[in-house]
Amino acid sequence: MTNPKRLRRQFFLTCTLLIVLIAGCGSASQYPANIDGSESVEKTNAEVKSESEKETKIESEDEMKEKIKAETKEGWKLTFADYFEGEQLDNTKWAHAPEWVRKNGQWSNQEAFLDGEGHLIIQVSERDGKYYSGAIRSKDLFEQAYGYYEIRAKVPKEEGFWTAFWLMSDSVHQVGNDGRDGTEVDIFESPFAKDGDTIQHALHWDGYEGDHKSAGLAPYIKGIYEGFHTFALEWNEEEYIFYVDDKETWRTSAGGVSQVPAYLKITAEVGDWAGNIKNATLPAQLEVDYVRVYERETK
């Protein structure tokens, strides 16, 4: 005889077992990863993470290789490089120029900054009817005589101000001995942006007063105000050789060639020489991708 109580208990147990099994199956089919899967998901995440780390590493290695490749210049040794990465200007390489009144404007620290995307920004702004522009220099931080100096930058095509990458030393002010005791070398400046696709190379020596002497050349380069371009100078004992996008644009020994170390300057200045600032769309920006300096390898 079958005990009805036992039967009910068996029925109850069977149902419970079935429910558990069904629930278990449901659970297993709904979340197959919960048993092996959760491990596998974690593993996948870890793999994804590690792959992405690998990719990032490979990318940065490639970038680094590119940089090193670019930095490797046959016959030359890199002595200075700034790619303007990060958020803050590297104060081991640059300082803001003093906030001097300059012609029709004033240098202002807040107009020279990094954009966080790998560029130095040298800006020109109008505030309360006054004009402010950015200026940085490597005075007392990096100075060199002779070598190869290169900047990659996007130059604004506006009126009433000019941007420049130049070399300077205090002895530029010394009258006599021509430029041999110090010459301002303007690797590029952009006072003629309003007139078309010309930029200027220039030298200044024997101060800026009555004895001031200068030499310059303003090459026409189609599209120079569109996109990024390189501007470079080779300064050796015999002459200065200027380049735009690796093509020689000017070769001169005017002033007798400076023999003294100079520091780097990247600036914007407001002045009538470049036209009427009121016609400019402000703020305007010079975007600098990098600056590199080399010295000749000794044989």
Which residues bind to Ca ion, rule: CB under 5 A? 83-84, 118, 174, 177, 181, 206, 289-290
Q: Residue 117 or residue 128: which is nearer to Ca ion going by CB?
A: 117
Element (H, E) at 213: strand 213-217
Q: Residue 84 or residue 162: which is nearer to Ca ion going by CB?
A: 84
State the nearest-atom distance from the C-beta of 295 to Ca ion, in Å.
22
Q: Residue 118 or residue 261: which is nearer to Ca ion going by CB?
A: 118
Which residue in 133, 164, 161 sits closest to 291, CA to CA?
Answer: 164
State the nearest-atom distance from the C-beta of 115 to Ca ion, in Å.
10
Q: Residue 137 or residue 292: which is nearer to Ca ion going by CB?
A: 292
State the nearest-atom distance from the C-beta of 94 to Ca ion, in Å.
14
CB atoms within 10 A of CB 122: 25
Burial class (CB in 10 A: 0-12, 13-18, 19+), 143: middle
Q: Residue 47 or residue 211: which is nearer to Ca ion going by CB?
A: 211
State the nearest-atom distance from the C-beta of 214 to Ca ion, in Å.
12
Residue of this chain nearest to Ca ion (CB atom): 118
Q: What CA–CA distance (Å, rounded) separates 202 from 238? A: 17
Token digits of residue 248: 């020689």
Full DSSP string of 102-170: ETTEEE-GGGEEE-SSS-EEEEEEEETTEEEE-EEE-TTT-EESSEEEEEEEE----SSEEEEEEEE-G
State the nearest-atom distance from the C-beta of 256 to Ca ion, in Å.
9
